């Protein structure tokens, strides 16, 4: 697909820095570059994938406005499979905006969010799952999340999906031959049993992929982790310790934290969105009541709960109510202040914990945090997870939903075959599974969905 217009955008974050990049892509990119750039040779005469020193010129007065390095990537061997010119300039806000303004004055259109990657997809450079992996890579918060995104960008998920679709297409083709050309003696006769067995084989493969969905989703989106407990048990100290920063105010005065405080942290490759909540207790203070209400909301929406107890005090009724409030949410029970004489009823704690991990901490003496990190990793991941296993992860919510829909369609086909329905009826569900898997890689997807997905990209990508 060839576009008639040329687009441009700033591809680096807004602000001051050493270098900023303005990117152009389209049929006029090199010609526009020649009108604005002065170097040893015109860009139209240089080799592809080379970079050149020179100056950007205002064509109205011939005045040099910036010293730049310009990269040229000629079609089809470029990210968008179009001619691409990237201007590397000094990282000042005025400098990069001035260059972008000169380019836009040359009848070049401002790119929409994600439009460079959208063109890469529509021009066949990458498929839809690889395009989505671009943003996953940008947003990755841990090395593990980057590995999963890189795996998807390299096409491992695409290869898997295409393999599954090929198996389903073989089923569909064989059924069609039986229906349209029954006289062919050498054609395989597809019975209900054959259709069921082959559909079951694909469904089992989908099950294997979906078995990684929970971990993959965690790596992609992170765990919303609420740190809860009564006032003055050490919640803010734990947050500060995990993020290695004094972000939360720590005092001996109960009720110091009045609102929730959030930050991200990497725990053994697991991204955690830590939420330091206000101490949950009965209070008459109106401001503290608001904080407690927000804490209860964070508790209800958490993927993981770190529940702190004061080992130097007996269990309070507020502690017992918090055990009930946790419900079935994954949680780790932390006994803090173990450097002081223990007064908490440990047997009751173990009973209320209901087989959850109970870890002894002394945040004052920096003891026990490594055991907490181990417990988080063990709770959500196999500690011996290999890089090859990570490559099989499916982490995108859209992909997970489509895999589940395809699995359901195959289950319907298997049920139809078991019930003795004609194979041409059972194949309708096989076709539905084939179409659904195609949506993952963009082979059977609507224009509106494509526009929606790329609108979530950052500008210039």
Q: Tens digit of pLDDT for each residue in 311-337?
A: 889 998 888 888 888 888 888 999 999
Confidence of residue 2 (pLDDT cuts 50, 70, 90): low
User: Which residue reads 């005090």 in tokens?
Assistant: 313
Higher pLDDT, 256 or 81: 81
**pLDDT higher than threshold 90 for residue 221:** no
In DSSP terms, which residues pair with 209 in a beta bridge? none
Q: Give, for 57, the enclosing helix (H) or strand (E).
A: strand 50-58
Structural contact between residues 102 and 70, judged by C-beta atoms closer than 8 angstroms: no
- Least confident stretch, 94-98, 120-124, 155-159, 183-187: 183-187
Instruction: Give the chain's mean pLDDT.
Output: 82
Higher pLDDT, 172 or 99: 99
Q: What does DSSP say about strands 7-10 and 17-25: parallel, antiparallel, or unpaired?
A: antiparallel
Task: Return the percent helix, strand and coil in the chain, to nearest 5.
Answer: 45, 20, 35
- Alpha-carbon distance of 82 to 24, in angstroms, equals 10
- Alpha-carbon distance of 365 to 117, in angstroms, equals 50
Altogether, the residues listed in the chain come to a count of 461
**pLDDT higher than threshold 50 for residue 251:** no
Domain covering 7-125 assigned CATH 3.30.1360.120 in the classification: yes
The two tokens of residue 28 are: 């006029």
- How wide is the angle at C-alpha 44 spanned by C-alphas 43 and 45, nearest 5°? 90
Going by C-alpha positions, the residue among 161, 164, 78 that lies closest to residue 124 is 78
pLDDT by residue (tens digit) across 64-117?
999 999 999 999 999 999 999 999 999 888 899 999 999 999 999 999 988 999
Q: What pLDDT is recorded for position 142?
A: 73
Half-sphere exposure of 193 (CA within 13 A, CB side): 2
- Least confident stretch, 71-80, 170-179, 190-199, 324-333: 170-179
Q: What pLDDT is recorded for position 1?
A: 55
Percent of the chain with pLDDT over 90: 37
Q: What pLDDT is recorded for position 224?
A: 82
The two tokens of residue 387 are: 């890089």
DSSP-derived letter for residue 112 is P
**pLDDT higher than threshold 80 for residue 165:** yes
Q: What pLDDT is recorded for position 259?
A: 42
Q: What pLDDT is recorded for position 26?
A: 95
pLDDT by residue (tens digit) across 266-314?
777 777 878 766 545 455 454 445 555 666 666 777 788 888 999 889 9
Q: In this structure, how many other beta carbons lie within 10 angstroms of the beta carbon of residue 130? A: 21
Q: What pLDDT is recorded for position 383?
A: 45
Domain segments of the chain as ranges: 7-125, 131-212+394-442, 226-373
- Least confident stretch, 41-45, 314-318, 429-433: 314-318
Structural contact between residues 394 and 213, judged by C-beta atoms closer than 8 angstroms: yes
Higher pLDDT, 260 or 275: 275
- Least confident stretch, 199-203, 356-360, 370-374, 408-412: 370-374
Distance, C-alpha 192 to centroid of its chain: 40
3-state secondary structure of 164: helix
pLDDT by residue (tens digit) across 380-406?
765 444 444 444 578 788 899 999 999
- Alpha-carbon distance of 53 to 422, in angstroms, equals 70
Question: Which is the CATH superfamily of the domain at 226-373?
Answer: P-loop containing nucleotide triphosphate hydrolases (3.40.50.300)
Cα–Cα separations (whole angstroms), residue 203 to 129, 174, 176, 208, 412: 20, 19, 21, 9, 11
**pLDDT higher than threshold 50 for residue 123:** yes
**pLDDT higher than threshold 80 for residue 172:** yes
91 contact partners, CB below 8 Å, separation of at least 6: 12, 15, 16, 17, 18, 19, 20
Confidence of residue 164 (pLDDT cuts 50, 70, 90): very high
Q: In this structure, how many other beta carbons lie within 10 angstroms of the beta carbon of residue 135? A: 19
Query: Can you name the CATH fold of 131-212+394-442?
Result: 1.20.120
Q: In this structure, how many other beta carbons lie within 10 angstroms of the beta carbon of residue 209? A: 20
């Amino acid at each position: 697909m060839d576009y008639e217009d040329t687009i441009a955008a700033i591809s680096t974050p807004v602000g001051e820095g050493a270098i900023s990049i303005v990117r152009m892509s389209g049929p006029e990119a090199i010609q526009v570059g020649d009108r604005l750039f002065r170097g040893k040779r015109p860009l139209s005469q240089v080799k592809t994938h080379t970079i050149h020193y020179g100056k950007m010129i205002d064509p109205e007065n011939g005045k040099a406005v910036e010293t730049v390095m310009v990269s040229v990537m000629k079609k089809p061997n470029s990210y968008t499979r179009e001619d691409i010119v990237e201007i590397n300039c000094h990282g000042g806000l005025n400098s990069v905006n001035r260059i972008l303004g000169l380019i836009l004055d040359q009848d070049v259109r401002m790119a929409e969010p994600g439009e460079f990657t959208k063109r890469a997809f529509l021009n066949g450079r990458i498929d839809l799952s690889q395009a989505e992996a671009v943003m996953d890579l940008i947003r990755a918060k841990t090395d593990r999340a980057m590995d999963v995104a890189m795996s998807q960008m390299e096409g491992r998920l695409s290869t898997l999906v295409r393999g599954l679709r090929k198996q389903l297409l073989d089923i569909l083709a064989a059924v069609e031959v039986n229906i349209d050309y029954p006289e062919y003696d050498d054609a395989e006769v597809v019975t209900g049993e054959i259709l069921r067995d082959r559909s079951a084989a694909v469904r089992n493969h989908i099950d294997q992929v979906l078995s990684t969905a929970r971990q993959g989703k965690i790596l992609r989106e992170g765990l919303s982790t609420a740190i809860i407990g009564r006032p003055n048990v050490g919640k803010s100290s734990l947050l500060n310790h995990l993020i290695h920063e004094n972000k939360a105010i720590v005092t001996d005065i109960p009720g110091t934290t009045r609102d929730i405080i959030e930050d991200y942290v990497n725990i053994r490759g697991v991204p955690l969105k830590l939420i330091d909540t206000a101490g949950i207790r009965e209070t008459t203070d109106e401001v503290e009541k608001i904080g407690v209400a927000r804490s209860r909301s964070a508790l209800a929406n958490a993927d993981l709960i770190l529940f702190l107890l004061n080992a130097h005090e007996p269990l309070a009724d507020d502690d017992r109510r918090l055990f009930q409030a946790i419900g079935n949410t994954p949680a780790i029970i932390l006994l803090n202040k173990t450097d002081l004489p223990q007064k908490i009823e440990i047997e009751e704690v173990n009973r209320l914990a209901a087989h959850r991990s109970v870890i002894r901490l002394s945040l004052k003496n920096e003891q026990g945090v490594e055991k907490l990190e181990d417990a988080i990793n063990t709770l959500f991941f196999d500690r011996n997870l290999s890089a090859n296993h990570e490559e099989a992860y499916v982490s995108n919510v859209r992909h997970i939903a489509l895999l589940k829909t395809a699995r359901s369609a195959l289950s319907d086909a298997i049920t139809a075959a078991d019930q003795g329905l004609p194979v041409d009826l059972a194949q309708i569900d096989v076709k539905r599974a084939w179409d659904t898997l195609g949506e993952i890689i963009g082979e059977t997807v609507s224009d509106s969905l494509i526009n929606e997905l790329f609108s979530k990209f950052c500008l210039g990508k």
